[in-house]
A and B are shown apart, each in its own frame.
Chain A
Amino acid sequence: MVTSSQARAATPAVETQHYKAEVRNLNFYYGSFHSLKNISFKLEANKATALIGPSGCGKSTLLRCFNRLHDLYPGNRYEGSIVLLPDNVNILDRKVDPIEVRMRIGMVFQKPNPFPKSIFENVAYGLRVRGMNNKTELADRVEAALKGAALWEEVNHRLDDLAFNLSGGQQQRLCIARALATDPEILLFDEPTSALDPIATSSIEELIQDIKHKVTILIVTHNMQQAARVSDYTAYMYLGDLIEFGVTSELFVKPKDKRTEDYITGRFG
């Protein structure tokens, strides 16, 4: 369980690794409902970490702690910390403005959610929020982000089209481009392919592999094959507890906890 992952984190092989964030004793409450229970793990830089588990296990709740989206709704409370490395800031600290956190940590949502604006304006929005107005600089960055999201070839001739005219898979890649445009340190994916068909899904999965070298990835998925395909580390959660955390290939082949084994072999969930 938690202790075993901490023990593994202390082995010499792991110490040479480079971490982007560390979750320490994180508890989260929706009103009086204790939704995340004492979660601790480390996020390795430029790797993909998957959060898996049955519905209601808290994986999306955990993800949304990383950019303080819970702050938007009343009655939510965090305890413990998520420390962003190397600057060693606890992003859950009340003194840290959630807007600063969201500027550093991007998010891609479950349902593609482009704005009803042009393709260009969608990608440029994060830059505009940062006060960037220079046309050529915006154009350069939008192009780079669209290339990064493997969408440039499909849309470069119609950047002024309404984003709603794109297909579902293209809209999701547009949302990835919007998040990439501002060079986030961590990119959060909340079941990014659950609203997409298999072809669009595989293009998003490829994309996640491609962008790992520049951004650390945390992805929630209810699809275990997807976790196995895209992630380097996997965390299995159940009823708000982090049951097991480990290297994806090991966790899926020989899980240490009985509950993880039951879940990944399809005995429940």
Chain B
Amino acid sequence: MNTEKPSPPSARLDAAAIAELIRTGKRKELVFAILGVFCLAIAILTLTAAFLSLLLDGWSRIRPEFFVNFPSRRAAEAGILSAWVGSFMVLIVTMVAAVPLGVGAAIYLEEYGQKGGWIKDVIEINVTNLAGVPSIIYGLLALGLFVYYFKFGQSVLSAGLTLALLILPIVIVATREALRSVPVHIREAAYGVGATRWQMVSQHLVPYSAGGILTGIIIGLARAIGETAPVITIGALTFIAFLPPSPISTEPPFLNFDWLFSPFTVLPIQMFNWVSRPDSSFHASAAGAGLVLLAMCLAMNALAIYIRYQVRKKIKW
């Protein structure tokens, strides 16, 4: 097989052939671009249509009274006071529970877990699977665990902890990504002057990845605020005409935690309740509550994007 092959003819093209090739290439490019815009338009138009229909139906309800009135039998007087206060309180519990658990777990997985060790593998597989578990399953777990076993009842605390479990995988994954984005040479710089692992983690890794961690937490909370199924499962009430007890009191010790055990409702449940009523004037209230929910979610996501942008501007590795 060592016989000399004839050298192939020259691959050089004349100008016209090159121009024709480029023309064909660009035509294909254009077709793909149009297809892409079309796909994008479907997604955006659907969202915009949903938003506009909410806006048309619900805008009439967005008045100050809507935010300070309790739900009522008369649609015109019905407000979302108990719902947004409930959502807010549940979210606080969720944050207090999910942030330390999620960030702690992520730090363990990234920095302490033995690479290839079985404990790390088991946790990792679990975290990945948890992210795919349907939210109603979390509701069932919480009903058994928090409501009946721990006897927290159908309370703000049970709901907050349930949603915390639900967003834990989101927080863990985002935190791990953020920690991983700190370059190896920064870690070695800290170890190089004699820092312990904990000093490296607490004084360098966590502060430098705080923006990414915060973004993950906010996106997780935005997910939690819209969750309905698990909160219904643990037994949130749909009609609440009172507020949980205030966490701050005028008498010592000034703080009380009774609100944790109070019955509650949240925005999506309030919305669900109004939508399912036959009286169509309640549907406007539902749309109004939907607008408020959507605005809260968008605001949280915008905040997350803003923080990420600020951090990227400040720290360039």
Stretch at the interface among A5-13, A123-131, A261-269: A123-131
Question: Which residues of A have CB within 8 Å of B190?
Answer: 115, 125
A174 CA to B194 CA, complexed, in Å? 17
Q: How far is the CB of A15 from chain B (nearest CB, A)?
A: 33
Is A116 positioned at the interface, with any CB of B under 8 Å from its CB? yes
Question: A residues 94-114 with Cβ under 8 Å of B?
Answer: 99-100, 102-103, 106-107, 109-111, 113-114
Is A67 positioned at the interface, with any CB of B under 8 Å from its CB? yes
Chain A residues within 8 Å of B, Cβ to Cβ: 67, 69, 72, 74, 99-100, 102-103, 106-107, 109-111, 113-116, 125-126, 129-130, 162, 164, 175, 178-179, 182
Question: Which residues of A have CB within 8 Å of B208?
Answer: 116
Is B188 positioned at the interface, with any CB of A under 8 Å from its CB? yes
Question: Which residues of A have CB within 8 Å of B69?
Answer: none
Q: Is the CB of A113 within 8 A of B189?
A: yes
Q: Is the CB of A69 within 8 A of B315?
A: no
Q: How far is the CB of B288 from chain A (nearest CB, A)?
A: 45
Q: A113-B185, A126-B193, A164-B315 are in contact. List 20 more A-B contacts (CB 8 A).
A: A72-B191, A99-B194, A99-B196, A100-B194, A102-B192, A106-B193, A109-B192, A111-B185, A113-B183, A113-B188, A113-B189, A115-B190, A116-B208, A116-B314, A116-B315, A125-B190, A129-B195, A129-B199, A179-B192, A179-B193
Please list 7 pairs of residues, one from A and one from B, whose beta carbons are closer than 8 Å in the complex, sorted by A's number: A69-B191, A74-B114, A111-B185, A113-B186, A115-B189, A164-B316, A179-B192
A130 CA to B196 CA, complexed, in Å? 11
Nearest residue (CB) in A for B117 is A74
Nearest residue (CB) in B for A72 is B191
Q: Is the CB of A102 within 8 A of B191?
A: yes
Q: Is the CB of B194 within 8 A of A74?
A: no
Q: How far is the CB of B4 from chain A (nearest CB, A)?
A: 33
Q: Is the CB of A74 within 8 A of B193?
A: no
Interface size on B, residues (CB 8 A): 22
Q: How far is the CB of B203 from chain A (nearest CB, A)?
A: 8
Is B26 positioned at the interface, with any CB of A under 8 Å from its CB? no
Q: Is the CB of A129 within 8 A of B193?
A: yes
For B190, B191, B196, B199, which residue has the most chain A Cβ atoms within 10 angstroms? B191
Q: Is the CB of A115 within 8 A of B186?
A: yes
Is B116 positioned at the interface, with any CB of A under 8 Å from its CB? yes
Is B115 positioned at the interface, with any CB of A under 8 Å from its CB? yes
Is B308 positioned at the interface, with any CB of A under 8 Å from its CB? no
Question: Which residues of B have CB within 8 Å of A109?
Answer: 185, 188-189, 192
A81 CA to B187 CA, complexed, in Å? 26
Q: How far is the CB of B84 from chain A (nearest CB, A)?
A: 38
Question: Which residues of B have CB within 8 Å of A103?
Answer: 193-194
Is B223 positioned at the interface, with any CB of A under 8 Å from its CB? no
A218 CA to B315 CA, complexed, in Å? 31
Q: Is the CB of B116 within 8 A of A69?
A: no
Q: How far is the CB of B158 from chain A (nearest CB, A)?
A: 41
Question: Which residues of B have CB within 8 Å of A130?
Answer: 194
A69 CA to B187 CA, complexed, in Å? 11
Nearest residue (CB) in A for B192 is A107
